[in-house]
Each structure stands twice: as structure tokens, then as C-alpha cells.
Structure 1
Amino acid sequence: MSLSQAQKKALRRVGHYLNPVVTVSENGISENLLAELDRALRDHELIKVKLALPERDDRALMLEELTRDGDADLVQTIGKMALLYRRNPQANPKLSNIARFENHHGRR
């Protein structure tokens, strides 16, 4: 799925308030990391990921792998932070960052 610029802008607005919930270290991507990524995307739909890798090229490759394996869309990267999105039609409104943001800030 490819997000439009308007969708990305709306998701960046929500993502601004988030803290990273998944951290990728130099150890790379493990089964446990992918399981945590899947759980976080399923529960929250929109998550911030910290890429604790010193080289920009390594972070880009890791991010490609994460978005592919996590079946997620890349919304934005800033430095070592990335914002990932995967829609969940059955998301729990108490856990979904998007639903919680809309409930708290009103739909705009």
C-alpha cells in the first residue's frame, strides 16, 4: 500500500507525539524483534522506531527490511528515528495511536 502525501502529513502529525517503542541495534533484525514490531504495529498502527546504527546506509537498509518484513509503510525518517504505519481494521481504540490522537485532539 502506498500512502498519499496528505495521508503521510496526517500521520506525521500524530507521530510527532510518540516515543519509540521498538529499537533496532547493531545486532540486526531477529525473530524477537520482528515479533515485537508486528505486535506494536497491530496494537498501535503507527509507531516510532529507533535505529541505533551509526551509518546512514546501514539504517536505510535496515529500514527497508523492517518495512518489508513488517508489511508496513514508511511515513517519515528523521535522523535515527523512523515512523512506520500499518493499518489494522480491528485495532483496539484504546491502543491505536491514531484513534487515541483523534479522540484527544478531535478529528480534523
Structure 2
Amino acid sequence: MKLTGKQKRFLRAEANSMSPIFQIGKNGLTEEMVREFEDSLENKELMKVQLLQNTEWTAKEAKAFIEEVSGITVVQTIGKVLVLFKEAEEDKYRRYSSRLPKQN
């Protein structure tokens, strides 16, 4: 899903008070881990992931990998924290996508 600047701004504001749910450590980032992110996002739509100091991945590399192997959009990177978004398929889980500003 391609997001506009206004939509990304809305999602960043919503994620501001969240704590990271997943951590990427010395084992790195794998496709299996990204699938877990997708499963979690199906119920949450928006979450944070933290890169630990002992990982060899940079935030830029992690962002590119996550977006390449999945339908997840990385809304923001702040230092070693990524904000991930994926629209839920079921209406009952659309906590954020139902409130996104409309695209022009």
C-alpha cells in the first residue's frame, strides 16, 4: 500500500507512544521473522520493531529487506527503531487504516 505524506504523518503520531514489540538481535533479520511481523500486524496494523546493538543490520537495510519480502510499509525509522504498518484484511482489526486521511 502506497501511503501519502499526510497518512504517514498520521501513523507516526499514532505510533509515538508505542513501545517496540519485536527486537532484531545478533541472529539478524530473516524472512520467517518478517512473516511473524505480518501475522502480528494482521491484528495490530501498526507496531514498532527495535534493532539491538549486537545486530549487523542497519535501519536502512532492515527497512529495505522488510519492504522487499512482504506487504509491510515502513512508515518511519528513528535511530534503531522502525515503525511498521500493514492494513488488516478483517474490518474488526482496522484500528488505524479506517482513520487514515483519504488519498487525493
- TM-score of the superposition, structure 2-length normalised? 0.76
- The answer (yes or no) to whether the contact 2:75–2:85 under 8 Å persists in 1 is yes
Cα distance change, pair 36–57 in 1 and its aligned pair in 2 (3 A): closer
Counterpart in the other structure of 2:102:
none
Counterpart in the other structure of 1:37:
37
CA distance in structure 2 between the aligned counterparts of 1:58 and 1:47, rounded to whole angstroms: 18
- The answer (yes or no) to whether the contact 2:59–2:79 under 8 Å persists in 1 is no
Which letter does structure 1 place at the counterpart of 2:96? Answer: I
Structure 1: gaps of 5 or more residues: 103-108
Which letter does structure 2 place at the counterpart of 1:30? Answer: T
CA shift, 1:54, in A, is 6.1
CA distance in structure 2 between the aligned counterparts of 1:27 and 1:74, rounded to whole angstroms: 21
CA deviations 1:47-75 (Å, max 9, x no partner) are 11111246897331122111222311111
| Identity over aligned pairs, percent | 24
CA distance in structure 2 between the aligned counterparts of 1:24 and 1:57, rounded to whole angstroms: 8
Cα distance change, pair 53–63 in 1 and its aligned pair in 2 (3 A): farther
Greater mean alpha carbon deviation, residues 59-68 or residues 24-33:
24-33
- The answer (yes or no) to whether the contact 2:58–2:80 under 8 Å persists in 1 is no
1:75 and 2:75 are equivalent in the alignment? yes
Partner of 1:65: helix, strand, or coil?
helix
CA distance in structure 1 between the aligned counterparts of 2:91 and 2:58, rounded to whole angstroms: 32
Counterpart in the other structure of 1:23:
23
Cα distance change, pair 29–56 in 1 and its aligned pair in 2 (3 A): closer
RMSD, aligned α-carbons: 2.5
CA shift, 1:20, in A, is 0.8
Structure 2: gaps of 5 or more residues: 100-104
Deviation beyond 4 Å, 4+ runs, structure 1:
53-57
- TM-score of the superposition, structure 1-length normalised? 0.74
